[in-house]
Structure 1
Amino acid sequence: MTLGSDNPRIGIDWEKRPSRYLTVDGVPAYQIAYGCGTCGLVLRREPAAANVLLSAAAVRDRLNIGLDGLDAEVVEAFAAQLPRGDYQVMLLDTLPTLVTPGSAGDYFAVEGPAGWRDEELEYPIDPANASYYRLDRRDVGDHDELFEFAVPMVDPTDLDTGTVERYSNAAGRPTAVAFGLLDIEGPYFREERHWGLFHFLLDGHHKTASAAANDAPIRLLTFVSAGESLASADELLRLPEIIDADGQGTVDR
């Protein structure tokens, strides 16, 4: 679906090509994948990034109860924070696992470097420098793999523990909201590529932290940008089938 604002809070900054940044209110928050297509996935928190929640108060109660489908009012409320463009909008259930940089579960310390290594050469992958959530990992066709990440705008250690605990006892399936990017990268010396589906949390930090702490699934409404993803329209349109999400929308790049 086509949505967004001419004055969004979320943006993508290409001024320092090939580097690329996710911005909040014009301030770089994360360095994300380079535009070369062969350099590997990137997730690095910027020093000036602020802890900021981008929630929409008008639909907070609906999200706390949990969405059962794409809700037009919820979509509209968060579209006001997103750059104008085409989006693949999906509602999905996923199991978040909090990982720290350099840990055994850190993609950027394990699967990423392994994917860019061969018998003669090893191309360095930029290490992550902040905690994030691992979601699903799936095969895509005969060669590619999809890796999903939920990326917090607020350090999980700075969250209110009482609010996290309250969601542990909540009924239904409380829903988080994210701005999504599908970045597909692969080393030039092999056919395999890594599909990195990044969900940058706009709302639902405490919900996601609670789900991770309890090894429980979280429901996630995600707006995957067509114009800012490093993927083709056909690849974006395959996402609902690949991840078994309830989705809708058309992509025209």
Structure 2
Amino acid sequence: MLLDHIYLKITKSDSKLSFTTTGGGNWEVWDRFISYDNEPLFHIGNICGTCAFFFTQIKTDLAGSYTVDSVRNNLANGIETISDDISNQLSAIIPEGEYECLLLEIQPYQTCYNGKRDYFKEEQNPLWDYEDETDETGGIYYRGTDRVISEHEKLFEFFIPLYPPSSLEENRVRFYQEQIREGKQPTALALAVVDAKECMTYMEIPEDGIVSHWTYANYLLDGHHKIQAAAREKKSITLLSFISKDASFKVVDTLVELYKKNN
């Protein structure tokens, strides 16, 4: 559910995060990455509109801060609107560019590659009919709510952690579990990319008619303990999602309208 939305253009940022690309074959730009200090953190897929969606974490020996200390308490307590103060302070850690910033109420559940309710195994592979490109069997991520967009299009929400649940502080997770049980909704923070991937390899239209997957991939900068707590409790928290209009597959405006319509 959409709680608030603003458009934001960041023209001056000291962020160490960036979107980077490399070429492939005859393509000057093919593969895309989220990088930190110019070192790739995540491979976030390619520009091909008919290839399958994928993400893979490259850098795992993580160091440095991916959030802003001055707003940490606000996010821990949960925000209800995207204030100018919050957006201005968080702009310091977001790469320069244009963004649609969505404050969403989400209900995440934990899964893993080749596990129960794994997108790549259960939704993607039957349609594209080839193995995903991550080679990360067992890698943990979270999913949200799937939404039918049209007769042949469907949206899938992903919340992708920098740190696996096994590395989190158990006491901190339990703290947020207690907060959530009391009805509070702490806020996680993510840098996001939206892609529209249409399969062209199927022999016939599948039974549900869906041949185009819109993938809304949120890469968590803050909120790992919160989202784990929400998944355990099977309850909702909020997410402040900075969707890059520059790195996405040109469907961001339609996505925003979809969330507004479904409110």
TM-score bin, normalised by smaller chain: 0.7 to 0.9
State which drifts further: 46-55 or 22-31: 46-55
Q: Residues 13 and 75 from structure 1, CA distance in 2 versus in 1: closer, same or farther, beyond 3 angstroms?
A: same
In structure 1, C-alpha distance between the alignment counterparts of 2:261 and 2:58, rounded to whole Å:
31
In structure 1, C-alpha distance between the alignment counterparts of 2:21 and 2:260, rounded to whole Å:
30
Equivalent residue for 1:13?
A: 20
Q: Residues 242 and 54 from structure 1, CA distance in 2 versus in 1: closer, same or farther, beyond 3 angstroms?
A: farther
Identity fraction in percent: 27
Query: Which runs of structure 2 are paired with 1:193-208 in the superposition (5 Å)?
Result: 193-208=212-227
Equivalent residues, number? 239
- Deviation, 1:187, is 1.4
1:164 equivalent in alignment to 2:173:
yes
Q: Residues 143 and 51 from structure 1, CA distance in 2 versus in 1: closer, same or farther, beyond 3 angstroms?
A: farther
1:2 equivalent in alignment to 2:4:
no
In structure 2, C-alpha distance between the alignment counterparts of 1:86 and 1:100, rounded to whole Å:
31
> Cα deviation per residue 1:190-232 (whole Å; 9 max; x = unaligned)?
6721000011111111111111111111111111110110133
In structure 2, C-alpha distance between the alignment counterparts of 1:12 and 1:65, rounded to whole Å:
30
Q: TM-score scaled by structure 2?
A: 0.83
Instruction: Say if 2:54 and 2:134, in contact at 8 Å, map to a contact too.
Output: yes
Q: TM-score scaled by structure 1?
A: 0.86
Equivalent residue for 1:249?
A: none
- The structure 1 residue matched to 2:259, chosen from 217, 232, 240, is 240
Equivalent residue for 1:55?
A: 67
In structure 1, C-alpha distance between the alignment counterparts of 2:257 and 2:45, rounded to whole Å:
21
> Cα deviation per residue 1:46-87 (whole Å; 9 max; x = unaligned)?
155526651211112211221111122221222111121111
1:143 equivalent in alignment to 2:152:
yes
Aligned residues: CA RMSD: 2.0
Query: Which runs of structure 2 are paired with 1:23-34 in the superposition (5 Å)?
Result: 23-34=35-46
- Deviation, 1:34, is 1.3
Deviation above 6 Å: which 4+ runs of structure 1?
none
In proportion to residue count, which structure has more strand? 2
Equivalent residue for 1:152?
A: 161
Instruction: Say if 1:2 and 1:84, in contact at 8 Å, map to a contact too.
Output: no
- Deviation, 1:10, is 2.0
Query: Which runs of structure 2 are paired with 1:1-253 in the superposition (5 Å)?
Result: 1-4=7-10, 5-17=12-24, 18-47=30-59, 50=62, 53-116=65-128, 122-127=129-134, 129=136, 130-170=139-179, 171=182, 172-189=184-201, 192-232=211-251, 234-241=253-260, 244=263
